A and B are shown apart, each in its own frame.
Chain A
Amino acid sequence: MDKQKQQEYQKMVERASPNSPIFADCLRAFLVGGIICTIGQCIMNFCLSMGADMENASTYTSVILVVAASILTGLGWYGKLGKFAGAGSIVPITGFSNSVTSPAVEFKKEGYVLGVGAKIFLIAGPVILYGVISSMLVGIVYYFVR
């Protein structure tokens, strides 16, 4: 009986809850994500033109984007961009930088050890953990199958 009541209420809630504007969200994510990637490509082309090889150029590009996003987070601009762009600014590497810098800013008040140190990977932690584990698994499979 209670389960049934809860299910009925859940349906009522779904009817009453407005959806996010998916089309506009997708469009903005596409535009901003595209712009970030274009900026990345420009940086990479610049590094290549300065004589860097492909591997170094992509490393420089990542480093520059990560540092830039980190500074923008500290200035309070990346959060605003994320509000506008959604996945467009979360998916590129700049979003990863934002997810590490924002807890560092937020928890600085609790000190550098128990605040910044303990909380800095609050959001990025799961990505790093499971990224490392899955790459290990792929590595093991690759070792036996290649």
Chain B
Amino acid sequence: MAVHIGKQSVKFDLCAVVTATASTVGTKEGEGPLKEYFDVVLKDNLAGKDSWEKAESEIARQNISLAIKKAGLKNEDVDYIITGDLLNQCCGSTFGIRDMGIPYFGVFGACSTMGEAMALGALLVDGGGAKRVVAAASSHFCSAEKQFRFPLELGTQRPQTATWTVTGDGAAVLERKGKGPKITGITTGKIVDMGITDGNNMGAAMAPAAADLIERHLKDFGVAPDYYDVIATGDLGYVGRSLVCEMLEQKGITLGDRYIDCGIEIFDRETQDTHSGGSGCACSAVTFAGMLYSKLKSGEINRLLFIPTGALMSPTSLGQGESIAGIAHGVVIENVR
């Protein structure tokens, strides 16, 4: 049975095994530093469809199917899909999986969705509510720009603090039995709002939530940062990562080189013109499903604290002068016997 520990965490007993992952990315991500880790790199960001939104759904459909296949399962073997995205009413995910015939929990945690999906999936598996769960998240640069910012062809410049929404879908299959790294614990984030209103500086909006979560997680589990081989936040980018380090230093917590950010890893900012880094649900989802999972399998990483981060806002809320609230969800994935 899972045990609730500290203020915001759960330690698992019957840990869910991550038996397989799948990652599908767009063309730009396929030219980035992590290209060799992805299962599928699209040749066309429309994925053969006639709109960006339909393309995102198609990417989700293909990638979730691939994850199920890689785990050696069929659709009917999967008890639940837990997935979400950034589009209104989570249409990116729902239309992607509508023909699969698998019970579905739709989740929204902005760009932290992958963390939320994996945490809920692990709870379901550990609690006996499911034998096999697929946790996934998707985003698409073009559909996100269209919904949150400006039309693609509008000739504007992006500030240095802006991030680039990752096109893709990352999925993980969580099973009660099987081989692979296990989800041994979770720390659920609370909403932290430090009053940032600049929609072009999401890293700064989310950093306080990530710093708060890391501090809380270490206290709840009673471990030091060096317990982990890698601590990976979702999509804070260069600006957000430096803020997390600064805030934690002030509290006497030094993360050092083990702390990476998926938004920094996924693009080369010098050659790919991505400014502060990558963002979007897919940023942490494909980096986990691609690079991090691969390193867990090879033993290069044995203990991972994975922390997808999300900026809670909408164009309407920003227009009404609301600040951007941050959220972060921590998932511990370890190689244990």
Contacts and interface: CB of A to CB of B under 8 A. Distances in A.
A146 interface: no
Interface of A: 5-6, 9-10, 12-13, 16-20, 25, 73-74, 76, 78-83, 85-86, 89-90, 95, 98-99, 101-103, 105-107, 109, 122-123
Interface residues of chain B: helix, strand, loop or mixed (majority): loop
A95 B155 contact: yes
A10 B196 CA distance: 7
B295 to A, nearest CB: 28
B239 A79 contact: no
Contacts of A19: 160
Q: Which 3 A-B pairs have the closest CB atoms?
A: A82-B155, A106-B151, A102-B151
B161 to A, nearest CB: 5
B320 interface: no
Contact of A109 (B50, B152, B153): B50
Given A10-B195, A20-B157, A79 B243 contact: no
A89 B155 contact: yes
Nearest to B159: A20
Given A9-B208, A102-B152, A16 B243 contact: yes
16 contacts: A9-B196, A10-B194, A12-B246, A12-B247, A13-B243, A17-B201, A17-B239, A18-B160, A74-B153, A80-B155, A82-B156, A98-B154, A102-B155, A105-B151, A109-B53, A122-B151
A90 B156 contact: yes
B266 to A, nearest CB: 19
B186 to A, nearest CB: 27
B143 to A, nearest CB: 10
Contacts of A16: 204, 239, 242-243, 246
Nearest to A89: B155
